[in-house]
Amino acid sequence: MNFDWSVVGAHRDALAAATGMTVLLTVATMAIAVPCGIVVAALRLYAWTPVRAVATAYVELFRNLPLILVVYWAFYVLPIATGLGLSPFATGLAALALNVTAYNAETFRAGIGSIRRGQLEAAMALGMSRAQAVRRIVLPQAVRRILPVLASTWVSLFKDTSLVSVIAVSELAYVAMQIRAQTFRVLEMLTAMAAVYWLLGYPQAKLVDWIQRRYAVTE
Amino acid sequence: MSRRAKESGARIIRYRGVVKRYGTFQALSGVDLDVHAGEVVCLIGPSGSGKSTLLRCTNALETIDGGEIEFEGARIPRDGRALRDIRRRMGMVFQSFELFPHLTALHNVAEGPRTVLHARRAEAEDRARAMLAKVGLSDKASNYPAALSGGQQQRVAIARALAMEPDVMLFDEPTSALDPETIGEVLSVMKALADEGMTMVVVTHEMNFARRVGDWVAFFDAGRIVEQGPPRQIFDAPRTERTRDFLSHLGWHGQTL
């Protein structure tokens, strides 16, 4: 078997653009899923019971469905449900955000639950409302505690963005597969893909580890 | 100062028939107590006798199931802005300090003025520095709680409560979690506060403090106040067998200091 690595170089612009799309999808998904995760976690913890039930149902639905199914589902159902012709990018982003928000909500809920009750009481004894106490005192401690979990979610998400290739979002996996199909250079393209995912994923994981050490709260 | 001299001070907190249940357990079974302005009232008694519960009901960290608690002649509201206004006028100090571990000592103390009183940052931090100076910790302003000893943490917690300029201070076993050698520094700060005329309700196992600093002592057992009176009465001439029994188990045999 002979290898022809020139195929990678020949398509470097397309691969670079696709890598950019993968990074963009990851960042955009987290930009939605972190604040939404906090909101869903807060609803599950503090809201009026029926609202709490809806939040719980949401989490349990999306946490227990395969992501690829959610991607397909968003692709076929969202246009009918919303009447909008969403781009593949928007559709893929919606599917990823729905999934990761559910995970983040559970992560934040666990983090908030791990802060002992006395902290909330100390804040409320100063005259803070429950919302102020959660925002100013509980949440900042919870976020620091769950940073390693958010980091894992981030790295998983970075790789899982490849699943939206099934609806033709031109991210790294889709573009690499397209090139493979055109050139029949299977091993070269798969290896190039693996290299890009790993080389980008590893430093991200390390970066978050560093943030975790830098901002950890000792008690 | 004796209670008699202070009774001219207005009654600031009034407990009448206070009842608190946890499921089938009755934590408080009808407690009556008055706290006057400028007075130090010490709540003593065995663990689980209800003294901490009464303190936590005072600023509604616990809700009561019967009776009433009045602050300056009005019932403690159950929730909302009215309750928050009352809470900020009652400083609270916890057994386990409950400093905010993600904030420096200075920001722990400035947090209340910033968030609740909407003070400007510089103003809140100036006040926080003044309060830290008051508890003798000016040099620890930039330390995080984890870098402070237990006694220092509790003094920061007192400064944090004082920064709200409260009318009453509630102390929930403030020295019970401390090493013996740091208890004194916290009690000294509390004594100084009492000497300034701060109204204080103190749940404590420090009988020397109750005797020397307290104006009024209430002895709790099984959810009731068994006996209350000036420290001289409680410690030198307890009227009930239960009080005598409790004090003898603490190694207190009526001798003066």
Q: What would the pLDDT profile of B185-238 be if each residue is shown by its tens digit?
A: 999 999 999 999 999 999 999 999 999 999 999 999 999 999 999 999 999 999
Of A118, A125, A144, the CB nearest to B102: A144
Residues of A within 8 A of B91 (CB-CB) are 125
Mean pLDDT along residues A89-113: 94
Beta bridge partners of B25: B22
Is a pLDDT exceeding 90 seen at residue A10? no
Out of A73-82, A95-104, B14-23, pick the least confident. A73-82
Q: Concatenate the DSSP letters of all residues of A155-179 into one string.
A: HHHHHHGGGGGGGT--SHHHHHHHH
- Whether residues B146 and A219 touch (CB distance < 8 A) is answered with yes
Per-residue tokens: B159: 């400064």
pLDDT at B121: 96
For residue range B80-114, list pLDDT tens digits in order: 999 999 999 999 999 999 999 999 999 999 999 99
Is a pLDDT exceeding 60 seen at residue A50? yes
Side chain identity, residue A47:
A
Residues of A within 8 A of B92 (CB-CB) are 122, 125
Average pLDDT, chain B: 93
Instruction: Determine what percent of chain A is predicted with pLDDT higher than 90.
Output: 52
For residue range A164-213, list pLDDT tens digits in order: 888 888 888 888 888 888 888 888 889 988 999 999 988 887 887 787 78
- Name residues 90-149 of chain A within 8 A of B (Cβ): 118-119, 121-129, 132, 136-137, 140-141, 144
User: Chain A residue with minimal CA distance to B109?
Assistant: A126
| pLDDT band at residue B255 under the 50/70/90 scheme | low
Residues of A within 8 A of B164 (CB-CB) are 126-127
Out of A89-93, A183-187, B173-177, pick the least confident. A183-187
Q: For the packed helices A172-183 and A186-215, what is the interaxial angle rounded to 10 degrees?
A: 170
Of B94, B99, B112, the CB nearest to A127: B112
pLDDT at A1: 63
Side chain identity, residue B183:
I
pLDDT at B257: 53
Instruction: Determine what percent of chain A is predicted with pLDDT higher than 70.
Output: 99
CA distance B103 to B94: 18
Question: Contact A45/A112 with Cβ under 8 angstroms?
Answer: yes
CA distance B93 to A212: 31
* SS3 letters across chain B: CCHHHHCCCCEEEEEEEEEEEECCEEEEEEEEEEEECCCEEEEECCCCCCHHHHHHHHCCCCCCCEEEEEECCEECCCCHHHHHHHHHCEEEECCCCCCCCCCCHHHHHHHHHHHCCCCCHHHHHHHHHHHHHHCCCHHHCCCCHHHCCHHHHHHHHHHHHHCCCCCEEEEECCCCCCCHHHHHHHHHHHHHHHHCCCEEEEECCCHHHHHHHCCEEEEEECCEEEEEECHHHHHHCCCCHHHHHHHHHCCCCCCCC
- Distance (Å) from the alpha carbon of A82 to chain B's nearest alpha carbon: 40
Question: Contact B197/B213 with Cβ under 8 angstroms?
Answer: no
User: Chain A residue with minimal CA distance to B82?
Assistant: A127
Residues of A within 8 A of B115 (CB-CB) are 126, 128, 132, 136
- Distance (Å) from the alpha carbon of A34 to chain B's nearest alpha carbon: 21
**Alpha-carbon distances, residue B108 vs A124, B127, B129 (angstroms):** 14, 12, 11
Query: Is the Cα dihedral A191, A192, A195, A198 positive or negative?
Result: negative
CA distance B161 to A125: 9
For residue range B37-46, list pLDDT tens digits in order: 999 999 999 9
CA distance B149 to A102: 41
- In this structure, what are the phi and psi dihedrals at residue B252, rounded to the nearest 5 degrees? -100, 120
Report ipTM for this prediction: 0.91
* SS3 letters across A76-118: HHHHHHHCCCCCHHHHHHHHHHHHHHHHHHHHHHHHHHCCCHH
pLDDT at B4: 46
CA distance B65 to A36: 38
pLDDT at A12: 86
Residues of B within 8 A of A140 (CB-CB) are 102
CA distance B98 to A120: 9
Beta bridge partners of B22: B25
Pairs from A2-10 (Cβ < 8 Å, separation ≥ 24): A3/A187, A3/A188, A4/A185, A4/A188, A5/A188, A7/A179, A7/A183, A7/A185, A7/A188, A7/A189, A8/A188, A8/A189, A8/A192
pLDDT at A114: 94
CA distance A7 to B14: 85
- Whether residues B87 and A219 touch (CB distance < 8 A) is answered with no
- Whether residues A218 and B84 touch (CB distance < 8 A) is answered with no
User: Chain B residue with minimal CA distance to A133?
Assistant: B115
